[in-house]
Amino acid sequence: MHEQRDFDRFLHAVDVDGAIAETSHQRQLVLSRRGLLAGALAGPGALLLGGSEARAASGLSANDVGILNYALVLEYLQASFYTEAERSGALSGKTAQAAQVVGATERAHVKAFQKLLGAKAVKRPLFDFQGVTEAQQAFLKTAVAFEDLAVAAYKGQAPKLQSNAVLAAAVGIHSVEARHAAWVRELFGVTPAVNAFDKPATKQSINHIVASTHFIVAHPKMKARSRPQYTG
Amino acid sequence: MAPSAAETRTTDARSRLQLIVAGGVGLTAASPILRALLGTGAADAASKSEDLRILQLVLLLEYTQVALYERALNEASLTGELRDFAQIALGHERQHLAAVKQALGSKAGPKPRFEFGLKTKSADAFRETAIKLEDIAVAGYNGQATNLTKPTLAVAAEIVSVEARHAAWVRAIADEVAAPDPVDKPMTASEVAAGLREIGLRTS
User: Does the structure show a pLDDT above 70 at B196?
Assistant: yes
| Start-to-end CA span in chain B (Å) | 45
Alpha helices by DSSP H, listed for B25-44, are 32-38
A1: confidence class by pLDDT, cuts 50, 70, 90: very low
Work out the percent of chain B whose per-residue pLDDT is above 70. 77
**Mean pLDDT computed over A150-176:** 96
Cβ contact B161–A186 (<8 Å): no
Domain made up of A61-217: CATH architecture = Up-down Bundle (1.20)
Q: What is the mean pLDDT of residues A82-97?
A: 97
- Contacts from A203-208 at CB under 8 Å and sequence distance 24+? A203/A70, A203/A153, A203/A156, A203/A157, A206/A74, A206/A149, A206/A152, A206/A153, A206/A156, A208/A13
State pTM to two decimals: 0.79
Distance from C-alpha of A82 to C-alpha of A98, rounded to nearest angstrom: 10
Q: With a threshold of 0.95, tell me whether the complex ipTM lies above it.
A: no
Q: Verify whether the Cβ–Cβ distance A98 to B178 is below 8 Å.
A: yes
Q: What's the pLDDT at A37?
A: 19
Residues of A in contact with B158 (CB under 8 A): 155, 197-200
- Which residue in A175, A176, A191 has the most chain B C-beta atoms within 10 A of its own C-beta, making it the best mutation to test that interface? A175
pLDDT at B21 over 80: no
Q: Where are the beta strands (DSSP E) in chain B?
A: 113-114, 201-202
* Mean pLDDT, range B65-90, rounded to an integer: 98
More confident: A48 or B148? B148
Report in angstroms the alpha-carbon separations of B65 from A131, A232, B83, B89.
42, 39, 15, 9
β-pairing, B113-114 vs B201-202, is antiparallel
Q: How far does the CA of residue A216 sit from the closest CA of chain B (Å)?
A: 24
pLDDT per position as a tens digit, B153-182: 999 999 999 999 999 999 999 999 999 999
Give the CB-side neighbour count of residue B11, counting CA atoms within 13 A: 6
> CB B160 to CB A174 under 8 A?
yes
What confidence tier does A29 reach under pLDDT thresholds 50, 70, 90?
very low
- Tell me how far apart the alpha carbons of residues B105 and B40 are, in angstroms, rounded to a whole number: 13
Average pLDDT, chain A: 79
pLDDT at B45 over 70: no
Q: Which of A48, A179, A191 to mutate to test the interface with B (most CBs of B within 10 A)?
A: A179
Instruction: Give pLDDT, residue A10.
Output: 55
Asked if residue A229 has pLDDT above 80, the reply is no
On whether the CB atoms of residues B17 and B98 are closer than 8 A, the answer is: yes
pLDDT of residue A218: 75
Contact A186 B178 (CB under 8 A): yes
Which of A14, A82, A171 to mutate against chain B (most B CBs within 10 Å)? A171
Out of A49, A164, A178, whose CB is closest to B161? A178
pLDDT tens-digit map of A208-227? 999 999 999 976 555 444 44
Predicted confidence at residue A59, as pLDDT, reads 85
Domain parsing of chain A, residue ranges: 61-217
**Which pLDDT value is given to residue A226?**
47
**Is residue B79 over pLDDT 50?**
yes
Given the candidates 3.40.50.11890, 1.10.599.10, 1.20.1260.10, 1.10.3470.10, the CATH classification of the domain at B5-202 is 1.20.1260.10
Region A125-136: what's the mean pLDDT? Answer: 95
Average of per-residue pLDDT values in chain B = 84
Residue A21's Cβ-count burial label (10 Å; 0-12, 13-18, 19+) is middle
Instruction: Work out how many CB contacts closer than 8 A connect A with B.
Output: 181
Residue of A181, A152, A145 lying closest to B167 (CA atoms): A181
